[in-house]
Amino acid sequence: MLLVTTSLKKTFLFLCVFICFKTFAQNNIPILETGGTSMPNEWIDDITGHRVIKLINRAGINSSFYFHNNPFIISADKKNDKMIFFGTTNGVKNAYTVNLENKEVTQITFSETSIGAEIVGHKYNNLYFQKQDKVYVTNIKTKETKLVFTFPENYKGNIATVNSDETILAGSKASDAQADIPKKYPEKKDFFDRIFDAHEPNDLFTINIKTGKLQVIHTERTWLGHVQFSPTNPSILMFCHEGPWHKLDRIWHININTKEVKLMHKRTMDMEIAGHEWFAPDGKTIWFDLQQPKGETFFVAGTNIKTGVEKKYRVKRDEWSIHFNISDDQKMFCGDGGDAGQVARATNGMWIYHFMPLGDSLKSEKLVNMKHQYYKLEPNVHFTPNGKWVVFRANFEGTENVYAVEVKKYTN
């Protein structure tokens, strides 16, 4: 009996040591399942082995930018880069910065009502935003805020982007009839087709930041959106035809000086879709999610703006992501995955992904287990400027916040 008891004690002790080893890395970073409960400030994802941090430690709701809007301010020494995000307290949204090195949070706008738009000028490090009919600019360093423009009573548009030399803002305006549709039908599933089928006139417009001159540069009787200036060419403005992707050729750009419009990808088969487009950091390529046909064969594809030549990388069904993005050195891609209700109908797609081109495909690595994410909040991934982290937003703790995962697998 004594021998049995001693043996059991040794077994129990071994299991305790093993569990402790599995639960903590050598520097006491816990190894945990991501989400489903309150998380510490950093942990190792127990499935992927990658380190995840709460990038924002601030009370209230914290939101990172949409995937194609560049939120980063690069410091001169590249050691104190910052990211702009929105923080909401008591229903009021303002802009903040977080230092990517030490996670220090600084408020940069102090509006008593919520601000809108996600526009950073990277030449002068300004944040442009809109409140009702007024457009403002705040310098991120000095926090000085100035009025840029007031929309006239008979023309209420929405700004979306600033060009690379910070001289021109651009945006879109829908007809009053189109604007009323989502007011009557607030759910996307109810308003999406209705807006497309209405074929109401939509404008693209520019605003000269110095003179305040508003100019309508393009009008179509279709829904226009995803307006983005090239990060390097101040004259090139990308936009899309919104609506059911399989019914339209979506991706276009316009030269704001010549008004020449070009299609960036022409569909080649029934039910083909292309969308969620974004510029490469050097402005030479427009990348997008390509499915040939919808829900069957998946690619990340890119069109060279000058030559029209396309390249595409195959991704597996479970690796398809609502949004993809590319690193500043253009050597890596990332993706935010998707749940089973998305177009890919993935059975195991709820992950933050890292991708490396390998021939005509993308080789994937899982970075974060997103099984506790409610995907109505899309994670919208961004590489940090140094390419070492992928930033994303999530609600897997129950409240929307901003996180970052280390691209390199954690080692003690």
What backbone torsions phi and psi does residue 346 show, to the nearest 5 degrees?
-70, 140
Residue 24: band (very low, low, confident or very high) from pLDDT cuts 50, 70, 90: low
Is the predicted pLDDT of residue 21 greater than 70, yes or no? Answer: no
How crowded is residue 402: how many other Cβ atoms within 10 Å of its Cβ? Answer: 26
* ω into 293 cis (within 30 of 0): yes
Tokens matching residue 165: 């030399």
Tokens matching residue 2: 């004594």
Residues 6+ apart with CB under 8 A from 104: 98
Residue 15: band (very low, low, confident or very high) from pLDDT cuts 50, 70, 90: very low
Longest CA–CA span in the chain (Å) reads 93
Strand order in the sheet with 273-279: 273-279, 285-291, 298-304, 310-315, 361-369, 351-358, 333-335, 324-326
Residues 6+ apart with CB under 8 A from 295: 343, 344, 345
Tokens matching residue 342: 């998305």
Is the predicted pLDDT of residue 19 greater than 90, yes or no? Answer: no
DSSP state letter for 371 = T
Mean pLDDT in the chain?
94
Per-residue pLDDT reduced to its tens digit, 350-370: 999 999 999 999 999 999 999
Residue 11: band (very low, low, confident or very high) from pLDDT cuts 50, 70, 90: very low
**Rounded Cα distance, 179 and 157, in Å:** 11
Tokens matching residue 400: 């929307």
Is the predicted pLDDT of residue 17 greater than 80, yes or no? Answer: no
How crowded is residue 47: how many other Cβ atoms within 10 Å of its Cβ? Answer: 14
Is the predicted pLDDT of residue 6 greater than 90, yes or no? Answer: no
Task: Say if residues 44 and 50 touch (Cβ distance below 8 Å).
Answer: yes
Percent of the chain residues topping a pLDDT of 70 = 93
Backbone CA torsion sign across 98, 99, 100, 105: negative
At 3 the pLDDT is: 40
At 370 the pLDDT is: 98
**Rounded Cα distance, 408 and 51, in Å:** 9
Per-residue pLDDT reduced to its tens digit, 71-82: 999 998 888 999
**Rounded Cα distance, 3 and 7, in Å:** 6
Based on DSSP, count helices (H) and strands (E) in the chain, helices before strands: 3, 31
At 2 the pLDDT is: 36
**Rounded Cα distance, 135 and 148, in Å:** 5
Name residue 169's beta-bridge partners. 162, 207
Per-residue pLDDT reduced to its tens digit, 211-270: 999 999 999 999 999 999 999 999 999 999 999 999 999 999 999 999 999 999 999 999
Give the residue from 330, 336, 337 showing the smallest Cα distance to 387: 330
Task: Say if residues 294 and 272 touch (Cβ distance below 8 Å).
Answer: yes
**Rounded Cα distance, 105 and 172, in Å:** 32
Per-residue pLDDT reduced to its tens digit, 163-198: 999 999 999 999 999 999 999 999 999 999 999 999
Buried b (16+ CB within 10 A) or exposed e, 116-127: ebbbbbeeebbb
At 78 the pLDDT is: 84
At 27 the pLDDT is: 72
Per-residue pLDDT reduced to its tens digit, 52-61: 999 999 999 9
Residues 6+ apart with CB under 8 A from 371: 34, 35, 36, 350
Mean pLDDT (whole number) for 108-113: 97
* Angle, helix 176-184 to helix 188-198, in steps of 10 degrees: 160
At 247 the pLDDT is: 96
Give the residue from 60, 118, 128 showing the smallest Cα distance to 85: 118
Give this prediction's pTM: 0.92
Residue 262 CB burial class (10 angstroms; 0-12, 13-18, ≥19):
middle
**Rounded Cα distance, 209 and 8, in Å:** 76
Per-residue pLDDT reduced to its tens digit, 304-337: 999 999 999 999 999 999 999 999 999 999 999 9
Q: What three-state secondary structure class fits 199?
A: coil
| Helix, strand and coil percent figures for the chain, each rounded to 5 | 10, 40, 45
Q: How many residues does the chain have?
A: 412
At 202 the pLDDT is: 98
At 65 the pLDDT is: 98
At 25 the pLDDT is: 58
Task: Say if residues 353 and 334 touch (Cβ distance below 8 Å).
Answer: yes
Is the predicted pLDDT of residue 4 greater than 50, yes or no? Answer: no
